[in-house]
Structure 1
Amino acid sequence: MTTNLAASVHQRLLNHARATGRPFNDILQHYALERFLYRLGHSPYSTQFVLKGALMLTAWQIPSSRPTRDIDLLGRIENTMEQVVSAVKAICQEPVPDDGLRFETEGIIGERITETANYSGVRLRFAAYLGKARIPMRIDIGFGDPLVPGPSPVALPTILGFPPPEVQGYSRESAIAEKYQIMVYLGQINSRMKDFYDIWSLATHFSFEGSTLAQAISETFESRGTPLSLHPIAFSEAFAHDGEKQVQWEAFRRRLGTEAVPAGLQGAVQTIAAFLYPVTEALVKGESFRQRWEPTRGRWLQR
């Protein structure tokens, strides 16, 4: 890696930040995540990790996709700290055309993370360097979740025109199912406004086959040991109008910095309820659900 290239990339990222009005640190962070994923796509582990989370919103080209400072992956390797650390080290060291970045892997810090009683994963922290600029890296890797339908190849858009990362990507159906499960599991104590935003975004941008979404929800809830409910707290008027939740939603909107987000939490909740309640009702009653979601009309239509 040449010092001149790192300096050139740094300046181009700075120019991009100025042109887009986004904070430079956000742009720098995104570049590091992007180039890590490029290495993943070229490594022997390319089929053993599946990209999920906020970066998939970018891959799906949702106009108001939220910025993120970490990478979320589904791991399809042995769920041990030693194996995960070894894999990430190998990915960081994968030979690729020079992009100015260096990943420091000797000091990787790993910890177990638990989102629910039946679901755990691994979180790794280390650093990337663009010249002298240090960029914190965080990768969260989950294990054991069903993926409906299976993974599909995705190419992520790039900031500076370097070759795009090409990795295995999550399905929208399972992304929704996992966020919905967390909503139901946490109930009233849920402060994860990003999950409401993500489901709202997907429901307002994409059509869905009801049978596929129902399968994803059913398998995810069963895998994570969470019963489905006909009356999720997250869909209730009390939750949507709760003062604390509205403050959390408004803070999330300000961080996102976009007018595309509903001004009130209740607007997002209404859309999510219209989207997920009919599927939930069919699953609870043991019925098939074969309607098709139409995002422009905000409702399910008969096939």
Structure 2
Amino acid sequence: MNDKLSKNPAVSIRAKLLAHAKRHGEDFQRVLTRYAVERLLFRLGQTEEAKRYVLKGAMLFVTWPEHVFRSTGDLDLLGQGDPHPEALSERFARICQVRFPSDGIVFDRATLKVGAIREIDKYQGACISLAADLAGARIPLQIDIGFGDRVHPEPKRGIFPSLLPDLPPANILMYPPETVVAEKFEAMIRFGEANSRIKDFYDVWITTRIFSFDLVNVVKAVGGTLWDPGARIWRNR
């Protein structure tokens, strides 16, 4: 790591991220959010909690070969184990405690709040809000965690790339592309003609462009998602 980052990492990294935002024509706050998510995932990967959470959603696309990225402020995870807000609060507090001074970011445990996500009076997951600080820049984060979804094939650990080459990337469990397709397909069926989420169709298209699929695995993934008794497609029936 170079001397600048070693001497004053937070200030130096903030300046580097601002330069990155200007160079790529991106919103600086979005870049800060992307960086905070990356460093939170890095800390997750350093703990025993890494085996309990699987990356999904728009942030997953950052890890794909063509680095597809849809600007988003949220982090989506599939959780395993105790889903209650109290347990999640304890786990994420431990993740926030992981020290890595070289990346300059501090996650404020005092801002950690966990709320239940409910649908038709049924517990479906949790929404975590958290704030981070990078050299005086406040970065709010939202983490949506779902439970009980079937994943096929089994999730494997992969690299979530760092925005800055001086820093080690996160190594975490990730959704397989087959399950990405399966969940998008389920959303298309569930919403039917009322589906205005063009991104579902786009995501299936881009996924099939990037990956070569084993049809057997795709069929198993779609079947597992659609025929899971707890799947959202059946909750109103």
Pair 15,151 (structure 1): closer, same or farther in 2 beyond 3 Å: same
Using structure 1 for the length normalisation, give the TM-score.
Answer: 0.70
1:221 equivalent in alignment to 2:226: yes
Return 25-34 or 63-72, whichever deviates more. 63-72
Partner of 1:14: 18
Partner of 2:204: 199
Specify the SS of the correspondent of 2:73: coil
Partner of 1:99: 103
Specify the SS of the correspondent of 2:202: helix
Unpaired runs of 5+ residues, structure 1, are 228-303
Alignment partners' CA distance in 1, 2:120 and 2:45: 30
Q: CA offset at residue 97 of structure 1?
A: 4.3
Alignment partners' CA distance in 2, 1:192 and 1:114: 21
Q: 8 Å contact 1:116–1:185 — kept in the other structure? A: no
Partner of 1:240: none
Deviations for 1:122-145, whole angstroms, at most 9, x for unmatched residues? 111110111211101111111011
Higher RCO by CA contacts (8 Å cutoff, separation 6 or greater): 2
Partner of 1:32: 36
2:176 to 171, 176, 180: 171
Alignment partners' CA distance in 2, 1:168 and 1:93: 20
2:133 to 109, 129, 136: 129
Q: CA offset at residue 172 of structure 1?
A: 0.6
The amino acid of 2:226's aligned partner reads F
Q: CA offset at residue 152 of structure 1?
A: 0.6
Q: CA offset at residue 66 of structure 1?
A: 1.3
Q: 8 Å contact 2:126–2:146 — kept in the other structure? A: yes
Q: CA offset at residue 60 of structure 1?
A: 1.1
Q: 8 Å contact 1:121–1:141 — kept in the other structure? A: yes
Alignment partners' CA distance in 2, 1:195 and 1:118: 25
The amino acid of 2:106's aligned partner reads R
Pair 58,119 (structure 1): closer, same or farther in 2 beyond 3 Å: farther
Partner of 1:85: 89
The amino acid of 1:26's aligned partner reads R
The amino acid of 1:19's aligned partner reads R
Deviations for 1:260-303, whole angstroms, at most 9, x for unmatched residues? xxxxxxxxxxxxxxxxxxxxxxxxxxxxxxxxxxxxxxxxxxxx
Q: CA offset at residue 187 of structure 1?
A: 1.9
Q: CA offset at residue 171 of structure 1?
A: 0.7
Deviations for 1:86-138, whole angstroms, at most 9, x for unmatched residues? 11111111133431101112232222224789881111111011121110111
Pair 26,225 (structure 1): closer, same or farther in 2 beyond 3 Å: closer
Partner of 2:73: 69
Deviations for 1:53-95, whole angstroms, at most 9, x for unmatched residues? 1121111133442122111111012111111111111111113
Instruction: Please list every run of at least 4 consecutive aligned residues from structure 1 whose deviation after the TM superposition is greater than 6 angstroms.
Output: 115-119
Pair 88,110 (structure 1): closer, same or farther in 2 beyond 3 Å: same
Specify the SS of the correspondent of 1:141: strand
Alignment partners' CA distance in 2, 1:225 and 1:27: 32
Partner of 1:57: 61
The equivalences for 1:144-293 within 5 A come to 144-161=148-165, 162-223=167-228, 224=231, 226=233
Unpaired runs of 5+ residues, structure 2, are 1-5
Aligned length in residues: 226
Partner of 1:285: none
Identical counterparts, % of pairs: 37
CA RMSD, 1 decimal: 2.0
1:138 equivalent in alignment to 2:145: no
Partner of 1:112: 116
The amino acid of 1:79's aligned partner reads P
Using structure 2 for the length normalisation, give the TM-score.
Answer: 0.88
